[in-house]
Amino acid sequence: MTDLVRCEWAGTDPLYVQYHDEEWGIPAHDDRHLFEMLCLEGAQAGLAWITILRKRENYRRAFDNFDAALIAAYGDEKIAALLDDPGIVRNRLKVNAFVRNARAFLAVQAEFSSFDAYIWRFVGGAPIVNAWQRLGEIPAQTAEAQAMSKDLKRRGFTFVGPTICYAYMQACGMVNDHVVDCFCRDRLGVR
Residues annotated as part of the active site: 19, 41, 49
Q: What is the DSSP letter of 79?
A: H
Residue 144 neighbours by CB distance under 10 Å: 18
Residue 83, SS3?
A: helix
Torsion of CA 150, 155, 157, 161, to 10 degrees: 0
Closest CA to 47 of 91, 11, 98: 91
The total number of residues shown for the chain amounts to 191
- SS3 track for 127-164: CEECCCCCHHHCCCCCHHHHHHHHHHHHCCCCCCCHHH
Residue 176, SS3?
A: strand
What is the C-alpha to C-alpha distance for residues 172 and 16, in angstroms, rounded to an integer? 15
